[in-house]
Structure 1
């Protein structure tokens, strides 16, 4: 049955379950009824707890939670998308635009605490958001990982972003190892619009933004509608004489989001969210040489590109989300029944390219040596459907007052790969002769790569949050999940906070967690043909459970397992100052990594097995690494008066260190751990993000004027080189760097505000490296804050 038909069946099952639960739970005598509606309207649910509570700051939570109101960022911020906005707000958050990394150039990955992008769970309005279809295979960040496209949601649609800096798999399920990001969308009356422009100081990378939000009152509820158009131009930092294009991907986004709720009766609310984004993105691949280079006829044709060329990897990305649910109270219990459907699809077409083998065959047959210059290279799609039933109730008599919550979740996921047109992958003139196969820049997916796979999971979870005394809060959570493809897992969490005084709070948490292998990691396949030792053989990224992986002795992928410990304190001596400090340790066992390439040269016995299958080189996803991440999060904020104006200051700091411990090679690969995980790949895991990051911000407002200064510090990184230390080439060391953002905003009228400013105003760039040894083949790699330098912007914000 198609996935689109599943939700209704699941919803009906859970509706029946809700009715049965309501009838039985309403009979419990010792509970108090839910708070009156008027009071409940003043209460919110902060990620990390299922208890509705008065809106609080991170000072009062049992685990560290940062709440970022995005109103100011949407109105006057220097960043035009969510990922870059959080990059310069949250020290625990990392998102660096890639260049020269194929599909990773088209979708910015994001992560917390230096871990992988698929180890951070993203929620929208408290509901699990789908990940992208892309697996990051290249680039300095998140290799071998999937993630969530933060930039598919327009800034103007967002009310706040809550960043839970603690393991929460026992509460929210898979992926919540590093933490949880909850994106809370607006649903308030009123209209506003933003127009923004910007570009780099080098004169390129022009940005244009038009965004509008309008909250309409409908039947006692509100429907918020956000539309956004964004056009980001290409930038190029290649030095004179370098034919490459190195910089930002060209992107055009068209986005529409609806979010609202409608009261149906006393205590019953119907709510929903719908979002869609169409993105057209174009990234420049590595350059191919012209006449006189070694690229003719292998990678170019003199008749088509005599001076060489740069292929463009273009992606049409469609992102869709739909949330529908109903909240109600019955017998003192609060119920929430919801269904969430999300999908992400990327289709590749490669332009300004050629298939060199087709061009060479044309030349052999008496033609000029011509090939088509664009190809449909295929693509992939990921869909996720999740149905949740949550129930909660506050009991005054339990342990001084307790909130009991429990629920169930059903989820179905589907992943598929579509082959490209034959010209995108064929070797027309014969393997190992003349021109290389496939479209230059990005060879298309072959029929052997095509897949269409699904899996199901279901979960039961419970949470009890108690206040035995006015000073003590405790939290216990338990979650059991079963997956159709690898089995079940049970995880728990204990957390608590103790107020030593009105100003000082101690807090701590211990939890176990897990991350299920994504369908993308299990079933992604990529094949191209190479001439190895005089024999035409396939080079394959082999899917788990397939003939090649089984022949190599690669076991079935299973869940990553984690243990997370957090200990911290908060200090709020008065209304002006607030301080939080939390230390953490995250131990992950059986972490999934993408192996190096195995062949006859580095593993003769396995190489012979592969060649018997027609495979020259193969790499696999495998559970093979244990890592430990330790760190410190610190925040300090102050609100005060200065020269008749308001001065708000804050410092946010994160220091994180990840180390690879044991490398567990499958029995068939024992003794070849250096191929399974090379030094270069180990450093990508350990130092893919800066070891520390800090933001020091000052906002000064007086009259109609507001000035905002942010100083952002990125710690050092060390990454591997292509040659490696074994060849005498030292690792690439990136020194700590500090940038500054400055903006000035003025109210032109009661409802109109103009902002102008600059980002990285001192034009700071990463440490220069040998371009022959970097991941993107350039003197500046895509690390820290990127390689583009200073930029300037202007925004006009209007309310009406």
Structure 2
């Protein structure tokens, strides 16, 4: 039995056990009743303020969205990423087909800024970054090293809070666009299990999942909640066969009898197997005034996706040298010179087979060419330990230490290290990228009576130590070594993604210390004021100081004005400064080898590289909230100016520069066409408006909740520096839609519930394959999701639903009169990075038991 089949069998057994076990459970809380009760309770926010007294989201000084566990679980998508983007229009998450490591870790964007410009917390504690540096990602995420949020799943979460405001002065680096806090389930009475099956309308993308959470008491003074998810996700394919006349066209070869796969390139979601996630959240009261707490997670998944096709007639460094067949001459006796016949497969075979025993061509192994398969495993874990409480004098304290690690081990198969000739293996372990972070916090808060104020003055202060490391471990020797045939023009390393060699491997570290102070009080019955200042000292680039002033004013009992002004920053990641590797890039209609080098390497210095500094931001937000009868409405304007944004520089190598790299010991540079690294180089201004409206309707035997959320975001590149081209500037400005809207109708008529959600994505721009010679514009797009659920009894419910009910796709791309449907450019017919995806419609069925 294959590993995948065994895994699917294990999941099937888990579902059967879950279904049989729940048949005898007697629950105490009806899931639908619990949902209705929660709708009647005003959502309370704890993010964005360190006061012991929390405020409703209608009364906070900064806009906050709260998505509870019920909303997270009632989605066709079985991950928190898609669940959040479905209900929060200022949040986007693109899929990245054939983006190397970025295909394994999806970037998430708040307010159209890069993934690493949003701070991610779990239970209020900083979450470690993912190990992926997205050097081949499209749009605003190019070069970003954000958090891998995939291990955070719905069954483990009590709710998610999204602070849509600059908060670096409160929480530190990355909080330019805002903060997302994942609050873990902490109810010891939680007993829940869910099984879900889904599939696309095209009979692929099959998804099978079991998840659940189980809470229990630790004596009379503690709690623990254990959560899990086990999941398999099949691959999807939405392209066509690669046509004639392109860099790697396969149609003509197929017609001539070459054994060519159809399609040769798979455009769609990768296959994800052995996808297991676990969370444990716990706390124990030492006494009435102190509690120890801990939470931890472990997650692992295997990813397998497609790369670009290698044409047997034209792939340079593997099959061809110029227009001639590339032979590995093992004796020096000489080999035939000439192109591979393409009109007849038999003629091609005869040409290669007649070359002589000393002449080897990869055509003999891959007569139809080959498409490397790339992926590997992602392993993620973290653990947090802390103690919090209140002293007799009213001082509130929280001491904590958090350690987390994200480990990406890369593998590639169905490819070769061409420089090894016939001795090359076809599978390679490429090495790993590992991000490890330890954060130590000491946080304090004291309420001080001030006669002139309507409330106590809350004074919060604290210290933080943050240690970060980014490690590169080497792969198999065959994945990076320069074989004996490199001098004959064969490419070095596993083709598609070269393994990390010992020379560029290593562990790169930095640390930082910070101190903050935060004041907040109701100065009058109507006016709240807040002030925060934070100082940080980094071991690599130096210090930074940031501040924030916020205010909230009750104009009337039902109208609240709010606003904030702040400065912020994002420290460059250790990975951005030190990543080095070789890969394949699409440039001017051709596949070329590209070498990524560290920012301080001599090769980057040759083109103006150097130590990265922080990105600096200025944030402004102004808004109001109001209640008009049962209608709740919030409107917020924001403006974010960012200077010294990190850009990825790509430079063409001249023959002299290539020779310099080889002479410096970088043998793989012999066939490299481009070199890439990161610099601080451009400025942007992002402004927009968020509108959220909720309106409940009560019927005799039913209840309907209407929710409209609208986001308008406009980004302008105000200073292009030395690196940002016109095409890159437009990508930063328009790769994510200016307008995003969601409208949700949630209707409960026991024992049924029906949900319809309409999502609108505005016009977006994309450089196809990240190639500036292929600009495309995709018009706006409406998607509709729908679900109907039925309560079997107090404990069990079933649901059926559809994502993208009407099977909508982004318009097929077109540029300069040429379209993807013509079969050109690798068989991709849809935009590759549209935030709505290119999967089309899918359906799902879900069973849930509460006991």
Query: What is the TM-score with the length of structure 2 in the denominator?
Result: 0.82
- Give the direction of change, closer, same or farther, for the CA distance of 1:492–1:292 in structure 2 (3 Å limit): closer
Contact 2:265–2:826 at 8 Å: present in 1 too? no
Aligned to 1:277: 299
- State which of 80, 90, 108 in structure 2 corresponds to 1:110: 108
RMSD (CA atoms): 2.5
Secondary structure in 1 matching 2:364: coil
Aligned-partner Cα distance in 2 for 1:507–1:773: 52
Question: In structure 2, the residue corresponding to 1:387 is in which secondary structure?
Answer: strand
Quick one: distance in 1 between partners of 2:662 and 2:374? Answer: 31
Q: Deviations over 1:756-784 (max 9, x none)?
A: 00000111111211449989954332212
- Aligned to 1:87, the other structure's residue is in SS state helix
Q: Does residue 390 in structure 1 map to residue 447 in structure 2?
A: no
Q: C-alpha displacement at 1:549, in angstroms?
A: 2.4
- For 2:414, the equivalent position in structure 1 comes to 352
The corresponding residue for 1:194 is 194
Map of 1:739-758 to 2, 5 A cutoff?
739-758=783-802
Is 1:738 the counterpart of 2:785 in the alignment? no
| Alignment of structure 1 residues 127-146 onto 2, 5 Å | 127-141=125-139, 142-146=141-145
Distance 1:705 1:396 in 2: 52
* Correspondence 1:634 to 2:691: yes
Check the 8 A contact 1:297/1:434 in 2, yes or no.
no
Partner of 1:328: 389
**Alignment partners' CA distance in 1, 2:460 and 2:764:** 43
Q: Tell me, in whole angstroms, the C-alpha distance in 2 between the residues paired with 1:213 and 1:82.
A: 15
CA–CA distance in structure 2, aligned partners of residues 239 and 349 of structure 1: 26
Question: What are the residue-to-residue correspondences of 1:647-658 with 2, within 5 Å?
Answer: 647-658=704-715
- Offset at residue 49 of structure 1 (A): 0.7
* Counterpart pick for 1:523 among 578, 584, 593: 578
In structure 1, the partner of 2:52 is 52
| 2:841 matches 1:790 | yes
Deviation for aligned residue 1:71: 2.1
Question: In the alignment, which of 421, 437, 440 is matched to residue 495 of structure 2?
Answer: 440
Aligned pair in 2 of structure 1 residues 716, 269: CA closer, same or farther (>3 Å)?
same
Aligned equivalents of 1:448, 1:292: Cα separation in 2: 31
SS at match of 2:646: strand
CA contact (8 A) 1:100 1:139 kept: no
Q: In structure 2, do the counterparts of structure 1 residues 230 and 539 end up closer, same or farther at CA, with 3 Å as the change threshold? A: closer
Q: Residue 79 of structure 2 aligns with which residue?
A: 81
Provide the C-alpha distance between the structure 2 equivalents of 1:793 and 1:269, rounded to a whole number of angstroms: 42
Offset from partner CA, 1:55-103 (integer Å, 9 cap, x none): x4321100001111122432x3211001111110111111111111111
CA contact (8 A) 1:508 1:567 kept: yes
Matches within 5 A, 1:249-328: 249-252=270-273, 253-290=275-312, 297-298=319-320, 301-328=362-389
Instruction: Tell me if the contact between 1:355 and 1:440 (Cα under 8 Å) persists in the aligned partners.
Output: yes
Corresponding residue of 2:466: 411
Contact 2:138 2:770 in 1 (8 A): no
Q: Which of 360, 367, 372 lines up with 2:425 in the alignment?
A: 372
Is the 1:43–1:52 Cα contact (8 Å) retained in structure 2? no
Deviations 1:157-202 (A, max 9, x none): 0011000000000000000000000000001023110000101100
Give the secondary-structure state (helix, strand or coil) at the position aligned to 1:88: helix
Aligned to 1:17: none
Q: CA deviation at 1:685?
A: 1.9
1:388-428: CA deviations, max 9, x gaps? 01111222326332211110001101111112112112342
8 Å CA contact 1:357, 1:429 repeated in 2:
yes
Q: Which residue of 2 aligns with 1:697?
A: 744
Show CA shifts across 1:537-595 (max 9, x none): 99532212222223433232111100000000111123x21000011110000001111
Q: C-alpha distance in 2, partners of 1:581/1:395?
A: 33
Deviation track 1:316-362 (CA, whole Å, cap 9, x = no partner) reads 1110111110011112111000011110010101122222332xx33
Are residue 471 (structure 1) and residue 518 (structure 2) matched? no
CA offsets per residue over residues 419-476 of structure 1, 9 Å max, x none? 2112112342433635422223322122332121111100000111110111111110
In structure 1, C-alpha distance between the alignment counterparts of 2:370 and 2:569, rounded to whole Å:
46
**Consecutive unaligned residues in structure 2, runs of 5 or more:** 1-41, 242-261, 321-325, 327-360, 586-591, 814-818
Looking at structure 1, the residues matched to 829 and 217 of structure 2 have their Cα atoms a distance apart, in angstroms, of 53
Residues 552 and 609 in structure 1, CA contact (< 8 A), matched pair in contact too: no
Q: Distance in 1 between matches of 2:294 and 2:744?
A: 36
User: 1:538 and 1:505, CA in 2 relative to 1: closer, same or farther beyond 3 A?
Assistant: closer
DSSP-derived class of the 1:79 partner: coil
Inter-CA distance 448–775: structure 2 relative to 1 (3 Å threshold): farther
Q: Which residue of 1 aligns with 2:563?
A: 508
Contact 1:599 1:610 in 2 (8 A): no
Deviations along 1:361-394, one digit per CA (max 9) or x if unpaired, are: 33xxxxxxx6312001111101000000111122
Does the aligned pair in 1 maintain the 2:58–2:625 contact within 8 Å?
yes
Q: 1:487 aligned to 2:546?
A: no
Q: What is the aligned partner in structure 2 of residue 646 from structure 1?
A: 703
Instruction: Give secondary structure in 2 for the equivalent of 1:63.
Output: coil
SS at match of 1:226: strand
- Is 408-417 or 637-646 further displaced after alignment? 637-646
Answer yes or no: is 1:451 the counterpart of 2:506: yes
Shift of 1:293: 7.7
Contact 2:267 2:828 in 1 (8 A): no
Q: CA deviation at 1:212?
A: 1.5
Q: Select between 343-352 and 292-301 the one with higher mean Cα deviation.
A: 292-301
C-alpha spacing 1:327/1:505, structure 2 compared with 1 (3 Å): same
Q: Is the contact made by 2:496 and 2:583 (CA closer than 8 Å) also made in structure 1?
A: no
List alignment gaps of at least 5 residues for structure 1.
Answer: 1-41, 363-369, 531-536, 665-672
Alignment of 1:560-599 (within 5 A): 560-574=615-629, 576-599=630-653
